[in-house]
Structure 1
Protein backbone atom coordinates (compact mmCIF):
# COMPACT_ATOMS: atom_id res chain seq x y z
CA UNK A 1 0.00 0.00 0.00
CA UNK A 2 1.28 3.46 -0.85
CA UNK A 3 1.92 6.22 1.64
CA UNK A 4 -0.52 9.11 2.00
CA UNK A 5 2.30 11.61 2.60
CA UNK A 6 4.50 12.85 -0.24
CA UNK A 7 7.74 14.77 -0.65
CA UNK A 8 7.20 18.49 -0.02
CA UNK A 9 4.25 18.06 2.38
CA UNK A 10 4.20 19.93 5.69
CA UNK A 11 3.87 17.51 8.61
CA UNK A 12 3.83 17.59 12.42
CA UNK A 13 5.31 14.87 14.67
CA UNK A 14 2.58 13.40 16.89
CA UNK A 15 4.58 10.98 19.05
CA UNK A 16 8.06 10.35 20.36
CA UNK A 17 10.71 12.68 21.71
CA UNK A 18 10.32 15.06 18.74
CA UNK A 19 6.57 15.49 19.40
CA UNK A 20 5.19 18.85 18.28
CA UNK A 21 7.93 19.67 15.77
CA UNK A 22 6.88 20.69 12.27
CA UNK A 23 8.80 20.41 9.04
CA UNK A 24 8.75 19.63 5.35
CA UNK A 25 9.14 16.08 4.06
CA UNK A 26 12.51 15.84 2.27
CA UNK A 27 12.49 12.17 1.28
CA UNK A 28 10.05 9.25 1.38
CA UNK A 29 11.13 5.61 1.83
CA UNK A 30 7.96 3.60 1.03
CA UNK A 31 9.51 0.12 1.35
CA UNK A 32 10.29 0.78 5.02
CA UNK A 33 7.27 3.06 5.75
CA UNK A 34 9.61 5.88 6.74
CA UNK A 35 10.26 9.47 5.74
CA UNK A 36 12.84 12.15 6.40
CA UNK A 37 11.51 15.44 7.80
CA UNK A 38 13.59 18.61 7.76
CA UNK A 39 14.81 19.50 11.27
CA UNK A 40 13.35 16.38 12.93
CA UNK A 41 15.33 13.43 14.35
CA UNK A 42 18.70 15.11 13.76
CA UNK A 43 21.71 12.85 14.39
CA UNK A 44 25.47 13.45 14.61
CA UNK A 45 28.11 11.21 13.08
CA UNK A 46 31.86 11.11 13.45
CA UNK A 47 33.95 10.83 10.31
CA UNK A 48 37.59 11.04 9.37
CA UNK A 49 38.58 14.74 9.36
CA UNK A 50 39.27 16.17 5.90
CA UNK A 51 39.90 19.55 4.31
CA UNK A 52 36.19 19.94 3.60
CA UNK A 53 35.23 18.82 7.12
CA UNK A 54 38.14 19.58 9.49
CA UNK A 55 36.20 18.67 12.64
CA UNK A 56 35.13 15.29 11.33
CA UNK A 57 31.53 15.72 12.56
CA UNK A 58 28.42 15.99 10.42
CA UNK A 59 24.71 16.20 11.18
CA UNK A 60 21.87 14.65 9.23
CA UNK A 61 18.14 14.07 9.61
CA UNK A 62 17.41 10.38 10.20
CA UNK A 63 14.22 8.71 8.92
CA UNK A 64 11.12 8.60 11.12
CA UNK A 65 8.21 6.15 10.87
CA UNK A 66 5.23 7.43 8.91
CA UNK A 67 2.85 6.55 11.76
CA UNK A 68 4.54 9.15 13.97
CA UNK A 69 3.62 12.11 11.74
CA UNK A 70 0.41 13.76 10.55
CA UNK A 71 -0.15 15.93 7.52
CA UNK A 72 -0.90 19.61 8.17
CA UNK A 73 -4.11 20.81 6.54
CA UNK A 74 -3.12 23.70 4.22
CA UNK A 75 -6.38 25.60 4.84
CA UNK A 76 -6.62 25.37 8.65
CA UNK A 77 -2.92 24.82 9.53
CA UNK A 78 -3.87 21.93 11.87
CA UNK A 79 -3.04 18.20 11.74
CA UNK A 80 -5.43 16.13 9.67
CA UNK A 81 -5.97 12.62 8.38
CA UNK A 82 -5.83 12.02 4.64
CA UNK A 83 -8.51 10.50 2.43
CA UNK A 84 -8.99 10.08 -1.30
CA UNK A 85 -11.70 10.87 -3.85
CA UNK A 86 -11.94 10.97 -7.62
CA UNK A 87 -12.47 14.29 -9.39
CA UNK A 88 -14.61 14.86 -12.49
CA UNK A 89 -11.80 13.79 -14.81
CA UNK A 90 -11.41 10.51 -12.91
CA UNK A 91 -8.11 11.51 -11.31
CA UNK A 92 -7.40 10.40 -7.72
CA UNK A 93 -7.07 13.40 -5.38
CA UNK A 94 -5.94 13.57 -1.74
CA UNK A 95 -8.48 15.17 0.61
CA UNK A 96 -8.00 16.57 4.13
CA UNK A 97 -10.49 14.85 6.46
CA UNK A 98 -10.62 17.84 8.84
CA UNK A 99 -11.72 20.45 6.30
CA UNK A 100 -12.84 18.28 3.39
CA UNK A 101 -10.73 20.31 0.96
CA UNK A 102 -8.31 19.00 -1.65
CA UNK A 103 -4.62 18.84 -0.71
CA UNK A 104 -3.13 18.55 -4.20
Structure 2
Protein backbone atom coordinates (compact mmCIF):
# COMPACT_ATOMS: atom_id res chain seq x y z
CA UNK A 1 0.00 0.00 0.00
CA UNK A 2 1.37 3.40 -0.98
CA UNK A 3 1.58 6.26 1.47
CA UNK A 4 0.95 8.82 -1.30
CA UNK A 5 -2.58 9.40 -2.57
CA UNK A 6 -4.29 11.72 -5.01
CA UNK A 7 -4.74 15.33 -3.72
CA UNK A 8 -1.90 14.98 -1.18
CA UNK A 9 0.48 17.90 -0.74
CA UNK A 10 4.05 16.79 -1.40
CA UNK A 11 7.59 18.16 -1.26
CA UNK A 12 10.07 17.43 -4.07
CA UNK A 13 13.33 15.96 -2.70
CA UNK A 14 15.57 15.90 -5.77
CA UNK A 15 15.83 16.99 -9.37
CA UNK A 16 15.39 20.34 -11.09
CA UNK A 17 12.33 21.18 -8.95
CA UNK A 18 13.96 20.35 -5.60
CA UNK A 19 12.33 22.12 -2.65
CA UNK A 20 9.09 22.96 -4.47
CA UNK A 21 5.68 21.93 -3.19
CA UNK A 22 2.71 20.71 -5.19
CA UNK A 23 -0.41 18.58 -5.20
CA UNK A 24 -0.56 15.03 -6.54
CA UNK A 25 -2.98 14.71 -9.46
CA UNK A 26 -2.22 11.13 -10.58
CA UNK A 27 -0.65 8.07 -8.94
CA UNK A 28 0.61 5.00 -10.80
CA UNK A 29 1.42 2.38 -8.14
CA UNK A 30 2.50 -0.33 -10.59
CA UNK A 31 5.13 1.97 -12.17
CA UNK A 32 5.98 3.77 -8.92
CA UNK A 33 5.37 7.21 -10.42
CA UNK A 34 3.22 10.24 -9.64
CA UNK A 35 2.26 13.43 -11.46
CA UNK A 36 2.40 16.63 -9.39
CA UNK A 37 0.92 19.99 -10.42
CA UNK A 38 3.46 22.44 -11.89
CA UNK A 39 6.36 20.08 -11.16
CA UNK A 40 8.59 18.43 -13.79
CA UNK A 41 6.98 20.42 -16.61
CA UNK A 42 8.13 19.34 -20.08
CA UNK A 43 7.39 20.67 -23.54
CA UNK A 44 5.68 18.39 -26.05
CA UNK A 45 5.89 19.16 -29.76
CA UNK A 46 2.64 18.01 -31.36
CA UNK A 47 1.41 17.91 -34.90
CA UNK A 48 -1.96 19.45 -35.72
CA UNK A 49 -4.95 17.11 -35.70
CA UNK A 50 -8.66 17.56 -36.31
CA UNK A 51 -9.24 18.07 -32.60
CA UNK A 52 -6.55 20.62 -31.72
CA UNK A 53 -3.85 22.80 -33.16
CA UNK A 54 -0.27 21.66 -33.23
CA UNK A 55 2.55 23.45 -31.51
CA UNK A 56 4.54 23.31 -28.33
CA UNK A 57 2.45 22.35 -25.31
CA UNK A 58 3.60 22.25 -21.69
CA UNK A 59 2.54 19.36 -19.47
CA UNK A 60 3.59 17.67 -16.25
CA UNK A 61 5.67 14.52 -16.60
CA UNK A 62 5.65 11.69 -14.05
CA UNK A 63 8.32 11.54 -11.35
CA UNK A 64 9.35 8.66 -9.10
CA UNK A 65 7.57 8.23 -5.79
CA UNK A 66 10.96 7.96 -4.08
CA UNK A 67 11.69 11.59 -5.03
CA UNK A 68 8.74 13.08 -3.15
CA UNK A 69 7.80 13.40 0.51
CA UNK A 70 4.36 13.83 2.02
CA UNK A 71 3.63 17.17 3.73
CA UNK A 72 1.70 16.90 6.99
CA UNK A 73 -1.34 19.22 7.00
CA UNK A 74 -0.87 20.06 10.69
CA UNK A 75 2.86 20.74 11.03
CA UNK A 76 3.31 21.82 7.34
CA UNK A 77 6.64 20.01 7.08
CA UNK A 78 7.77 17.09 5.00
CA UNK A 79 7.41 13.87 6.95
CA UNK A 80 7.10 10.16 6.49
CA UNK A 81 3.76 8.54 7.10
CA UNK A 82 3.22 5.39 9.10
CA UNK A 83 0.18 3.17 9.06
CA UNK A 84 -1.81 2.44 12.20
CA UNK A 85 -4.79 0.14 12.52
CA UNK A 86 -7.94 1.27 14.23
CA UNK A 87 -9.96 -1.02 16.47
CA UNK A 88 -12.36 -1.75 13.59
CA UNK A 89 -9.45 -2.87 11.37
CA UNK A 90 -9.16 0.20 9.11
CA UNK A 91 -5.70 1.46 8.20
CA UNK A 92 -4.97 5.16 8.68
CA UNK A 93 -1.93 7.27 7.84
CA UNK A 94 -0.22 9.05 10.72
CA UNK A 95 2.50 11.72 10.61
CA UNK A 96 5.72 10.49 12.22
CA UNK A 97 6.71 14.01 13.39
CA UNK A 98 3.55 15.20 15.15
CA UNK A 99 1.36 12.08 15.35
CA UNK A 100 -1.57 13.74 13.54
CA UNK A 101 -3.87 11.60 11.37
CA UNK A 102 -3.42 12.38 7.66
CA UNK A 103 -6.69 12.20 5.75
TM-score, normalising length: structure 2: 0.92
Q: Which residue of 1 aligns with 2:83?
A: 84
What do the CA deviations read for 1:9-66 (whole angstroms, capped 9, x no partner)?
A: 0001011111011100000011111100000000001111358654511111000000
Instruction: State the alpha-carbon separation in 1 of the partners of residues 31 and 53 from structure 2.
Output: 34
Q: Which residue of 2 aligns with 1:19?
A: 18
> Where does structure 2 lack aligned partners over 5 or more consecutive residues?
none
What do the CA deviations read for 1:50-85 (whole angstroms, capped 9, x no partner)?
A: 586545111110000001000001001000001010
Q: Which residue of 1 aligns with 2:8?
A: 9
Alignment of 1:70-81 (within 5 A): 70-81=69-80
> Where does structure 1 lack aligned partners over 5 or more consecutive residues?
none
What root-mean-square deviation, in Å, do the aligned CA atoms of Structure 1 and Structure 2 show? 1.4
Point out 4+ residue stretches in structure 1 off by more than 2 angstroms.
Answer: 49-55
Alignment pair present for 1:97 and 2:96: yes
User: Alignment length, in residue pairs?
Assistant: 103
TM-score, normalising length: structure 1: 0.91
Q: Name the SS of the counterpart of 1:67 in structure 2.
A: helix
State the 1:88 CA deviation.
2.8
